[in-house]
Structure 1
Amino acid sequence: MKRRSSWWLVSAVLVAVLALLYWQSPRGGAFWWSDAARHALNSAFVADLLRDRPWQDPVGYAYHYYAQYPALTILFYPPLLYALTAPFYLLFGVSHEVALLVVFLHYFAFGLGCWRLGRSWLAPLPALAFALLMVLLPEIALWGRQVMTEVPAYAFLVWSVVAFVEHRRSGRIGWLGLSAALLVLAMNTKLTVGFVGLVYLAVLARDQGLGLLRRGRHWAIAALTLAALMPVVVMTLKFGQANLQSVAGVADAVAPRWSVQGWLWYLQQLPSQMGWPLLAVALWGVWRAWRQRAALPWWGLWLSWFVVGYVFFSLIDLKEARHSVFLLLPLAFVAVWAVQDALPVLSGQAALLALVLSTGAITFWWRPVPYVDGYARVVDQIARLAPRHSVVLFSGYRDGSFIFNLRAREDRRDLSVLRADKILLRLSVRRELGVEEKSLSEAELGQLLNDQGVHYVVMQPGFWTDLEAMRRFEHLMASPQFEEVARIPTPANHHAHETELVILRNKGPVNPNPRPLNIELKMIGRTIPAN
């Protein structure tokens, strides 16, 4: 294939595959993973910040925004995805679909980068198979079809690797600087991809030995890289205590950090992350590559990548399969290389086609993205019923989904949300890390809701009612002070926490001028006024 026509053909194939993945993605506010709705809301905050330009008091603006939409987590995660999504919101409006579109633009860049990286060592068709496999890998496609940061970070990361490989090949320092800059962008999207910086350092040290320490331009790039990372590092240290806690130790870890189970955990996830056909070929490829390692220019890079990455993620106490999606790239590459290396051209192409089709079948039919629908319908009801400038109380597992769907209604920007868990409980990040119940009586709680201007309540029946404070809340909702307005089902394609949401109207003497209420942000050790 000629170079220019190759780019167009690969782009067209990737667009077709990604269009199918987008079509299968949950939309319309049907979020499943709690972080996805929060990422979408964080981007809305940046868009509103750019529109309102509160430069005299940006901190106060952020506090007021959280008081109105208390699912904002803008300072807890690296901000680049939000900054890139905000202009699209400003152009097309705030919606689940627009946020997902931005993720898919990164998805396309990721697939194209995988193809370009594969062409460093593979023939054109195997390189295309490698790109398609990376796009279709079950674990990557699971998170790529949601408003999550894994695929956007991967897009910057894979192009960083492309630049690094070009630096090794040509020796030109500009490629190394570009690689470092792209890695900084990747880390400003998801901080954990930073382990690849250690991989680069190990490979360069192996290539150049002690001479690496005598190269002033390398030191300059290292210094500029560290300086560029300082803002996100400081932000994480100051506001991301929950993320740091997941590294240091969590109460609900699936396995002790230094146990055999803890160190085998990510290996055990590989079959579901890749599918057995591709994993089997990858293991065969690792065996073949090990035997030929001295003749393979890429072996040191991919071996260091997997080993350093595996140790890095295993040392993090909080184990989640999505954390290790960045380990799948070397395995997929080795699988494709082994087929190209061991089989005749036609047989190899047939085998790669079978791998792509089987991986795609696993992703499309056996690993669909979970969703929970119905939240947009609830918001539609609230938008129709709630008085202007009133407060809606929400009690349920998916507060982020409700709050983002409410923010997406431009015609009801006057409404604010109060979370029941914020006034009844003290917890950090999630309940599993500990919860403290507040001692509000049922009468005090009813009066508080009146004082706070709560006209309507959206409630998930049975939410955390094993806690006495939440049982009191649910008993209050069944009292004469409240009347049921509607029950709206929340259909899902998995066993979700909820099956319906209940809308109730507060019949009490609701204060038209809500009294200020302090909201405790235990994650960052601060308290802010709600009104």
Structure 2
Amino acid sequence: MVVVALLFLQAPHGGAFYWSDAPRHALNGVFVKDLLLDLPLDDPAGYAYRYYAQYPALTILFYPPLFYAISAPFYALLGVSHETALFVVFLHYVAYGLGCFTLARFWLSAISSLAFALLMVLLPEIAFWGRQVMLEIPAFAFLVWSAVALLQYVRGSPVGWLYLCAGLLVCALYTKISVAYVGLVYFIVLLQREGLGLVRNKHVYVVGLLSVVALVPLAVLTVKFGQANVQSVTGVADTVASRLSLEAWIWYARQIPAQVGWPLTVLAGLGFGYACALARAQSSSLEPLRFWALWFAIGYLFFSSIDLKEARHSVFLLAAVVFVAVWFLDSVLPRKWASGALCLVVASTAAATVLDRPVFYVKGYAEVVDMIAKQAPRDSVVLFSGYRDGSFIFNMRTREDRRDLSVLRADKILLSVAVRRELGVEEKNLSEAEIAQTLNDNGVHYVVMQPGFWSDLEAMRRFERVMATPQFEEVARIATPANHKAHEIELVVYRNLGKVGPKPAKLNIELKIINRQITVQ
């Protein structure tokens, strides 16, 4: 808990988001809180669409909803802020670390289990994504404890542990769908334990049926609103390697040294070789390795078969790599030497994470929102044009005193983007005069623009030329300092001096991410 708390002292906060999904995950929890407080029982779908029209970074149905449901009461108690969202992730992170310790205790000594847990908390890849408002660590927390429950059952504990295992795995799926492969791991472990007797175990059927029923809503949400996720499995235009190529099947293996560090990578390789040698001698000490071999092999095949490749997707596999490394030291060295070696590995991993893998941030968005909040007329609209629209929109929602303000995204009126630009973009043929009039018609009093954003597109170049006309007055330029090579260096704020009308009675919004178009009053 202390180590996680120290890690979170380095977590970016105050609205300085980096990854585009993070502010959207944060906003989704705020939406659930607002939904529960407002209780629009007569038209919940219309409420969601209107909410999106005001804060167009909402992705509530695109991702599984459990993390957002957990976040909602914390927002209600602590207020809507980046810090509150991070606190919810922090609680999951602590649970995840404690779960790693408990899981390792099935096979390792207390000291070695503590080393395993600390390493799992401190891994560069884990700590990078775990200190942002992302879903990997919350899902991993449920997953680790489901594995603990499974092993309790396998080792002779009452059947209630099997039900708990299934329930926690369902919770993990309702946090992040990609952990689904672990279900096959658990089935094989149960089959190894009970053999053909598994087909006569009525509890297995009950657990399976309850799990299927519990997952039906998630399946419906995925089919109706998660087509982009399905596409990432079946084929994406910007894949780094075709699934039919060797490169695709070694891609995740090549990420491991950067994800865990070279010391652990080398130790895991030595541990694998040592385990192969023991396997020839049919050693009984390989029981934990069989579990982790299943965990890694099935997960590796699963993630490699998905077209969209990102290193963070495979963080769930890293537990197997770390366990083999710790097990190797614990097995080949005397207890005192093993403890010292584990301390060195933990210290080197901590140093690599803290010094070489800080969490990225981009500041300035909260400052822009504060300035807009002081100057924008009541019930007006702010147009945003830039890469980090989610960061701007979430920061806008944190201003409880300006819930009257709405955000309109420039890409929604100038372009048609298929989820992300790499998957396709169409430009709308609006002239400069039409763009200026559209802003007036939509009640836009202020514009926040990232200079040069997608300026290779003619529609965006026209938009920038409109900002340079006498209709728009430059109010401020606010720097966006970052600790990495960010897309932007500043945001420019403009005031619309034209004849701005009230907000339109209707908005036609294209939602490519869920493949539908809506009309919102």
TM range (shorter): over 0.9
Equivalent position of 1:132 in the other structure: 118
**Amino acid of the structure 1 residue aligned with 2:274:** R
| CA positional deviation for 1:515 | 4.2
The answer on 1:206 being equivalent to 2:188 is no
2:188 and 2:381 map into 1 onto residues whose CA distance is 55
Matches within 5 A, 1:214-229: 214-229=200-215
2:238 and 2:55 map into 1 onto residues whose CA distance is 28
Is the contact between residue 417 and residue 512 of structure 2 (CA under 8 Å) also seen in structure 1? yes
Is the contact between residue 134 and residue 332 of structure 1 (CA under 8 Å) also seen in structure 2? yes
**Amino acid of the structure 2 residue aligned with 1:401:** S
1:482 and 1:177 map into 2 onto residues whose CA distance is 62
Equivalent position of 2:244 in the other structure: 258
The answer on 1:464 being equivalent to 2:450 is no
Tell me, what secondary structure is at the counterpart of 1:157? helix
Query: More deviation in 411-420 or 333-342?
Result: 333-342
| CA positional deviation for 1:214 | 2.1
Is the contact between residue 382 and residue 407 of structure 2 (CA under 8 Å) also seen in structure 1? yes
Per-residue displacement from partner, 1:90-129 (whole Å, max 9, x unpaired)? 0010000010000010000000000001111111111100
Equivalent position of 1:283 in the other structure: 269
The answer on 1:524 being equivalent to 2:514 is yes
Per-residue displacement from partner, 1:36-83 (whole Å, max 9, x unpaired)? 010000011001111111111111100000000000000000000000
1:207 and 1:103 map into 2 onto residues whose CA distance is 35
| CA positional deviation for 1:514 | 2.9
**Amino acid of the structure 1 residue aligned with 2:169:** L
Equivalent position of 1:11 in the other structure: none
Equivalent position of 2:172 in the other structure: 186
Tell me, what secondary structure is at the counterpart of 1:392? strand
Equivalent position of 1:242 in the other structure: 228
Q: TM-score, normalised by structure 1?
A: 0.96
Tell me, what secondary structure is at the counterpart of 2:266? helix
Stretches of structure 2 that go unaligned for 5 or more consecutive residues are none
Is the contact between residue 381 and residue 503 of structure 2 (CA under 8 Å) also seen in structure 1? no
**Amino acid of the structure 1 residue aligned with 2:445:** H
Equivalent position of 1:8 in the other structure: none
Equivalent position of 2:219 in the other structure: 233
Tell me, what secondary structure is at the counterpart of 1:170? coil
Matches within 5 A, 1:468-479: 468-479=458-469
2:275 and 2:376 map into 1 onto residues whose CA distance is 65
**Amino acid of the structure 1 residue aligned with 2:338:** G
Is the contact between residue 453 and residue 513 of structure 1 (CA under 8 Å) also seen in structure 2? yes
Matches within 5 A, 1:5-404: 15-170=1-156, 172-293=158-279, 294=282, 295=284, 296-404=286-394
The answer on 1:492 being equivalent to 2:477 is no
Is the contact between residue 447 and residue 493 of structure 2 (CA under 8 Å) also seen in structure 1? yes
Is the contact between residue 394 and residue 459 of structure 1 (CA under 8 Å) also seen in structure 2? yes
Is the contact between residue 123 and residue 260 of structure 2 (CA under 8 Å) also seen in structure 1? yes
| CA positional deviation for 1:219 | 1.0
| CA positional deviation for 1:171 | 5.5
Tell me, what secondary structure is at the counterpart of 1:502? strand
Equivalent position of 1:409 in the other structure: 399
**Amino acid of the structure 2 residue aligned with 1:476:** V
Per-residue displacement from partner, 1:274-319 (whole Å, max 9, x unpaired)? 0001111111112222333441222221111110000000000000
Is the contact between residue 22 and residue 132 of structure 2 (CA under 8 Å) also seen in structure 1? yes
Choose which of 408, 415, 426 in structure 2 pairs with 1:425. Answer: 415
| CA positional deviation for 1:476 | 0.4
When residues 112 and 64 of structure 1 are mapped into structure 2, their CA distance, relative to the original with a 3 A threshold, is same
Equivalent position of 1:6 in the other structure: none
Per-residue displacement from partner, 1:342-392 (whole Å, max 9, x unpaired)? 111111111000000000011100000111000000000100110000000
Choose which of 482, 497, 509 in structure 2 pairs with 1:507. Answer: 497
1:289 and 1:412 map into 2 onto residues whose CA distance is 61
| CA positional deviation for 1:206 | 2.5
Per-residue displacement from partner, 1:317-354 (whole Å, max 9, x unpaired)? 00000000000001111111111111111111110000
| CA positional deviation for 1:513 | 4.5
Q: CA RMSD in A?
A: 1.0
2:227 and 2:138 map into 1 onto residues whose CA distance is 23
When residues 513 and 470 of structure 1 are mapped into structure 2, their CA distance, relative to the original with a 3 A threshold, is closer
Tell me, what secondary structure is at the counterpart of 1:82? helix
1:414 and 1:352 map into 2 onto residues whose CA distance is 55
Is the contact between residue 203 and residue 300 of structure 1 (CA under 8 Å) also seen in structure 2? no
1:326 and 1:79 map into 2 onto residues whose CA distance is 20
Per-residue displacement from partner, 1:375-416 (whole Å, max 9, x unpaired)? 000000100110000000000000000000000010110000
Equivalent position of 2:426 in the other structure: 436
**Amino acid of the structure 1 residue aligned with 2:133:** V
Is the contact between residue 394 and residue 419 of structure 1 (CA under 8 Å) also seen in structure 2? yes
Per-residue displacement from partner, 1:109-163 (whole Å, max 9, x unpaired)? 0000000011111111111000000000110111100000000000000000001
Same amino acid, percent of matched pairs: 64
Query: More deviation in 258-267 or 200-209?
Result: 200-209
1:299 and 1:358 map into 2 onto residues whose CA distance is 25
Equivalent position of 2:440 in the other structure: 450
2:214 and 2:172 map into 1 onto residues whose CA distance is 12
1:347 and 1:302 map into 2 onto residues whose CA distance is 25
**Amino acid of the structure 1 residue aligned with 2:168:** L
**Amino acid of the structure 2 residue aligned with 1:270:** I
| CA positional deviation for 1:208 | 2.4
Tell me, what secondary structure is at the counterpart of 1:32? coil
| CA positional deviation for 1:523 | 2.2
Tell me, what secondary structure is at the counterpart of 2:473? strand
**Amino acid of the structure 2 residue aligned with 1:436:** E
| CA positional deviation for 1:512 | 2.8
1:413 and 1:386 map into 2 onto residues whose CA distance is 12
2:427 and 2:50 map into 1 onto residues whose CA distance is 25
1:170 and 1:79 map into 2 onto residues whose CA distance is 34
Tell me, what secondary structure is at the counterpart of 1:504? strand
Stretches of structure 1 that go unaligned for 5 or more consecutive residues are 1-14
Is the contact between residue 452 and residue 515 of structure 1 (CA under 8 Å) also seen in structure 2? no
1:366 and 1:76 map into 2 onto residues whose CA distance is 33
**Amino acid of the structure 1 residue aligned with 2:438:** L
Is the contact between residue 451 and residue 515 of structure 1 (CA under 8 Å) also seen in structure 2? no
| CA positional deviation for 1:211 | 2.2
| CA positional deviation for 1:210 | 2.3
1:291 and 1:413 map into 2 onto residues whose CA distance is 65
**Amino acid of the structure 1 residue aligned with 2:56:** P
Tell me, what secondary structure is at the counterpart of 1:19? helix
Number of residue equivalences? 517
